[in-house]
């Protein structure tokens, strides 16, 4: 091989060789930045094994006034490629690795083996920013470029364009969050001691508040931007970082501050809301009780008005009435306490009160007892506790009085006369948690999918004799594990965007519909998060069980999402009740004969020998309107059957409660059907708006896979009801397999499109 000019120079200055990858990348964008120049030169001066001539050469090649010529950089590339051939093809490729490999290949001195040498090179690499070798593939050997191409699954669509499409109006905030969470202060770490973890989470929360992110949904007069969509986006992005931080953030700014905003009036905003947004007033949301977890209406804590002192007396009547699982209980100075309001011996139902917990010295106030919940399965960075009150007195003004007020004499007034309607209106203002929690859960699922899919595009196992082992994602069983979940993540992303927009623009007229929708998607999506993360962990084998690869925390921290902000099983029953109410109103407002003809026609179509229940044509089975129609028919049939069952039980003399209990499982199944229909409709609608045909085509495949995989899961129901025949369900399975194989070729780009940067992905098997 003919020697290059650089090779001749390096015979006299061999220790400069490890600096070449760093210098090349630094000059690749035409200019070395002052901070980069400074650091390269500092590190060179610290290395006492460099000769004076070697230091002079590094100074010369890092001189901003004299950029290296194309010929000189070309000679660097040849040397770098030779060294890259010796890198382990299975290892993470970094500039520091490449530099030290060059030292090993061409330098006699042993000083480069030292930890200080590696640290120096890693610090320079960090200053240059994260280097994606796909952008610098020309410095890699043929072997390494081949490996990258294999991982990328070329050809591939433009992931950056897909990311832009997915992020839409929230792209600016998402990028801001990526930059913020890239700061070294937010570096992800494993903290096993709950006290240390809680302090770290509190510190992070204060940093978020200092950025103005805590108050972002509050009025501008209270330091916010009056934008609930931005708040939800921040919460969603925290799902990629640390879930304990996400929940701490949500408790302080969403629940505590949100209760003041949603249930209080201007006097409460002026006095408390600004401090809640800056975290100068740490607070908690004390609704749940040990004895009445999901049954908020029957909470036992009381707030009895004393007209002599114009105070409410907050009291916990028994041990089981203590507030349970309250986030921020250990750090909080005040709580939004939900209690039964009693005045003049009359009960007015559950209301919220602002109750101080601690003084400025952070000492618990008289009558307040707080206990630590201790270690949990996950979320150990959140300070959950139990709280009891013994005759704690608070001023009358501490009643959050948007929906009910008490004057000095103890007279109660409310703009909503009905106690039941008042209760549900009050809870409706707090539905934001059910909108936001599944968004963070979906982020965790996306992160799990990204880790699992990237691992499966590197990891090989088994194969034909005397041939290379097979990539995990080339196995149909692995595709079946992960591709439907990937499609579902995209579908849920569209559904959550739809719900968030509806919630942000809600009116009194559509509030009940949005509450039903939020309950359905919260349950469906968080159950999916739990399932997705388990499947991804299994897909990564033993590597997935290592804490460093993130699944331990992702699984443990999101597990509770199926329980808080409303237990999923209870919420799905609420969804079914909402759909039954809609059905009842439809019957009341529509001509009976018209309904009879409509449902009679649908039933006749389902049993007709001329229907499409046996059509196995691929064009038919890949028709989105057909998918939507099947989902609608399933939901409609289930709500009609449920209504008839409850009516039949009532006619037999059952009370309403027993009738609903008898139909409980059918109600939960209906809730699932409703959620699936909404998700499919919104995914299909979102795809229709996409102008880029290449992106639209891949999204169409994802929509087909989500729809057909869901139909396949319910094929027993479709067969029983006559909507499909056996040949058709078998054809569905074949097409699902085909779609999994097709989407597998785009899988790397599809997970890259989530836009999760490496500093948030973290897992070694993925980065």
CA atoms of 626 and 78, how far apart (whole Å): 57
Are residues 714 and 565 both part of a single domain?
A: yes
Which residues are CB-neighbours of 517 under 8 A, at least 6 positions away?
499, 502, 678
Q: Does residue 630 surpass a pLDDT of 60?
A: yes
Q: Does residue 102 surpass a pLDDT of 80?
A: no
Q: Does residue 402 surpass a pLDDT of 80?
A: yes
Confidence at 596, pLDDT banded by 50, 70, 90: low
Are residues 425 and 546 both part of a single domain?
A: no
Which residues are CB-neighbours of 317 under 8 A, at least 6 positions away?
300, 301, 302
Nearest to 629 by CA among 637, 639, 617: 637
Confidence at 54, pLDDT banded by 50, 70, 90: confident
Quick: pLDDT tens for 158-213.
999 999 999 999 999 999 999 999 999 999 989 999 999 999 999 999 999 999 99
Determine, yes or no, domain membership for 449: yes
Q: Comparing 393-402, 531-540, 598-607, which segment has the lowest mean pLDDT?
A: 598-607
Determine, yes or no, domain membership for 225: no
Are residues 22 and 138 both part of a single domain?
A: yes
Tokens of 271: 């006095």
Are residues 449 and 407 both part of a single domain?
A: no
pLDDT value of residue 96: 75
State the average pLDDT for the chain.
89
Contacts by 540-545 with C-beta closer than 8 Å and gap 24+?
540/451, 540/452, 540/455, 540/456, 540/765, 543/455, 543/459, 543/765, 544/452, 544/455, 544/765
pLDDT value of residue 88: 54
Quick: pLDDT tens for 207-245.
999 999 999 999 999 999 999 999 999 999 999 999 999
Q: What is the mean pLDDT of residues 596-613?
A: 56
Q: What is the mean pLDDT of residues 591-605?
A: 55
Q: Does residue 26 surpass a pLDDT of 90?
A: no
Q: Which residue did the predictor score with more confidence, 160 or 82?
A: 160
Determine, yes or no, domain membership for 17: yes
**In the chain, % of residues over pLDDT 70:** 89
pLDDT value of residue 587: 73
Are residues 549 and 568 both part of a single domain?
A: yes
Confidence at 2, pLDDT banded by 50, 70, 90: very low
- For residue 395, the enclosing domain spans 283-430
Q: Comparing 13-27, 345-359, 468-482, 595-609, which segment has the lowest mean pLDDT?
A: 595-609
Determine, yes or no, domain membership for 166: no
pLDDT value of residue 1: 38
Q: What is the mean pLDDT of residues 274-285?
A: 97
pLDDT value of residue 36: 74
Are residues 361 and 452 both part of a single domain?
A: no
**133, 152, 171: which is the final residue of a domain?**
152
Q: What is the mean pLDDT of residues 364-385?
A: 97
Helix or strand holding residue 642 (H, E):
helix 624-651
Determine, yes or no, domain membership for 370: yes
**In the chain, % of residues over pLDDT 90:** 66
How many angstroms from the chain centroid is the CA of residue 436? 9
Are residues 582 and 653 both part of a single domain?
A: yes
Are residues 80 and 105 both part of a single domain?
A: yes
Confidence at 53, pLDDT banded by 50, 70, 90: confident
Q: Does residue 145 surpass a pLDDT of 70?
A: no
Quick: pLDDT tens for 510-538.
889 999 999 999 999 999 999 999 999 99
Determine, yes or no, domain membership for 628: no
Q: Comparing 29-33, 372-376, 446-450, 626-630, which segment has the lowest mean pLDDT?
A: 29-33
CA atoms of 748 and 440, how far apart (whole Å): 22
Q: For the domain that residue 381 is a member of, what is the CATH number? A: 2.40.110.10
Q: Does residue 355 surpass a pLDDT of 80?
A: yes
pLDDT value of residue 126: 61
**408, 430, 452: which is the final residue of a domain?**
430
Model-wide pTM > 0.85: no
Are residues 701 and 596 both part of a single domain?
A: yes
Determine, yes or no, domain membership for 717: yes
Quick: pLDDT tens for 117-141.
877 777 776 666 545 454 565 676 6
**131, 152, 173: which is the final residue of a domain?**
152
Are residues 545 and 565 both part of a single domain?
A: yes
Q: What is the mean pLDDT of residues 683-694?
A: 97
Are residues 525 and 594 both part of a single domain?
A: yes
Q: Does residue 372 surpass a pLDDT of 60?
A: yes
pLDDT value of residue 411: 97
pLDDT value of residue 12: 73
Cα of first residue to Cα of last residue in the chain, in angstroms, is: 35
Q: For the domain that residue 542 is a member of, what is the CATH number? A: 1.20.140.10
Determine, yes or no, domain membership for 625: no
Q: What is the mean pLDDT of residues 647-657?
A: 90
pLDDT value of residue 134: 47
Do 490 and 702 meet the contact criterion of CB atoms below 8 Å apart?
yes
Q: Does residue 586 surpass a pLDDT of 90?
A: no
CA atoms of 508 and 499, how far apart (whole Å): 16
* Residue that is written with structure tokens 């040849």 in the block: 78
Are residues 27 and 91 both part of a single domain?
A: yes
What is the number of structural domains in the chain?
A: 3
Nearest to 626 by CA among 611, 641, 642, 640: 611
Residues 605-644 as b or e (16 or more Cβ within 10 Å = b) = ebeeeeebbeebeeeebbebebbbebbebbbbbbbeebbe
């Amino acid at each position: 091989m003919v020697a290059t000019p650089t090779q001749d120079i390096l015979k006299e200055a061999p220790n400069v060789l490890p600096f070449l990858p760093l210098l090349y990348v630094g000059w690749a964008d035409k200019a070395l930045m002052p901070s980069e120049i400074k650091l390269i030169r500092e590190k060179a001066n610290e290395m006492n094994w460099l000769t004076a001539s070697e230091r002079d050469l590094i100074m010369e090649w890092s001189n901003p006034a004299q950029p290296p010529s194309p010929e000189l950089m070309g000679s660097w590339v040849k040397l770098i490629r030779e060294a890259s051939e010796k890198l382990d093809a299975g290892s993470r490729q970094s500039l520091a690795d490449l530099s030290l490999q060059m030292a090993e290949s061409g330098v006699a001195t042993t000083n480069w083996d030292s930890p200080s040498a590696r640290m120096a090179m890693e610090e320079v690499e960090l200053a240059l920013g994260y280097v994606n070798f796909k952008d610098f593939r020309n410095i890699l050997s043929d072997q390494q470029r081949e490996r990258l191409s294999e991982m990328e699954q070329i050809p591939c669509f433009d992931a950056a364009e897909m990311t832009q499409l997915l992020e839409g109006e929230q792209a600016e905030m998402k990028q801001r969050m990526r930059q913020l969470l890239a700061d070294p202060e937010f570096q992800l770490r494993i903290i096993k001691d709950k006290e240390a973890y809680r302090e770290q989470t509190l510190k992070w929360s204060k940093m978020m508040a200092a950025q103005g992110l805590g108050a972002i949904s509050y009025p501008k007069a209270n330091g916010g931007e009056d934008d609930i969509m931005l708040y939800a986006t921040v919460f969603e992005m925290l799902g990629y970082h640390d879930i304990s931080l996400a929940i701490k953030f949500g408790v302080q700014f969403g629940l505590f501050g949100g209760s003041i905003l949603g249930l209080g009036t201007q006097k409460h905003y002026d006095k408390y809301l600004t401090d809640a947004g800056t975290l100068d007033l740490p607070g908690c949301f004390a609704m749940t009780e040990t004895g009445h977890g999901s049954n908020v209406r029957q909470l036992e804590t009381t707030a009895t008005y004393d007209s002599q002192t114009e105070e409410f007396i907050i009291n916990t009547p028994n041990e089981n009435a203590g507030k349970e699982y309250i986030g921020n209980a250990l750090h909080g100075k005040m709580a939004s306490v939900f209690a039964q309001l009693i005045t003049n011996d009359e009960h007015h139902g559950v209301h919220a009160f602002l109750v101080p917990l601690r003084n400025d010295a952070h000492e618990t106030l008289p009558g307040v007892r707080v206990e630590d919940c201790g270690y949990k399965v996950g979320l150990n960075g959140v300070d959950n506790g139990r709280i009891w009150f013994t005759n704690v007195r608070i001023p009358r003004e501490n009643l959050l009085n948007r929906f009910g007020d008490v004057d000095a004499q103890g007279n109660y007034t409310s703009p909503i006369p009905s106690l039941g309607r008042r209760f549900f209106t009050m809870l409706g203002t707090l539905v934001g948690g059910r909108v936001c929690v599944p968004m963070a859960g979906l982020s965790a699922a996306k992160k799990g999918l990204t880790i699992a899919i990237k691992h499966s595009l590197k990891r090989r196992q088994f194969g034909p004799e005397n041939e290379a082992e097979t990539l995990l994602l080339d196995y149909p069983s692995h595709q079946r594990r992960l591709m439907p979940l990937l499609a579902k993540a995209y579908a849920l992303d569209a559904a959550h965007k739809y719900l968030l927009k509806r919630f942000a623009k809600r009116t009194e007229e559509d509030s009940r519909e949005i509450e039903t929708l939020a309950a359905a998607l919260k349950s469906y999506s968080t159950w999916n998060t739990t399932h997705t993360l388990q499947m991804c962990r299994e897909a990564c084998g033993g590597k997935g069980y290592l804490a460093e690869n993130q699944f331990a925390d992702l699984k443990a921290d999101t597990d509770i999402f199926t329980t808080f902000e409303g237990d999923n099983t209870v919420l799905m029953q609420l969804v079914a009740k909402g759909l039954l109410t809609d059905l009842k109103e439809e019957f009341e407002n529509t001509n009976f004969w018209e309904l009879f003809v409509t449902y009679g026609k649908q039933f006749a179509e389902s049993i007709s020998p001329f229907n499409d229940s046996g059509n196995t044509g691929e064009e038919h089975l890949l028709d989105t309107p057909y998918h939507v129609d099947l989902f609608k028919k399933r939901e409609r049939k289930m709500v009609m059957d449920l209504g008839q069952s409850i009516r039949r039980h009532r006619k037999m003399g059952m009370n309403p409660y027993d009738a609903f209990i008898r139909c409980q499982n059918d109600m939960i199944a209906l809730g699932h059907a409703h959620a699936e229909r909404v998700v499919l409709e919104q995914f299909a609608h979102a795809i229709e708006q996409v102008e880029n045909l290449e992106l639209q085509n891949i999204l169409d495949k994802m929509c087909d896979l989500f729809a057909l995989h869901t139909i396949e899961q319910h094929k027993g129901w479709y067969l029983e009801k006559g909507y499909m025949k056996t040949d058709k369900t078998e054809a569905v399975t074949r097409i699902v397999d085909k779609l999994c194989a097709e989407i597998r070729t785009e899988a790397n780009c599809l997970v890259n499109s989530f836009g999760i940067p490496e500093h948030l992905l973290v897992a070694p098997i993925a980065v």
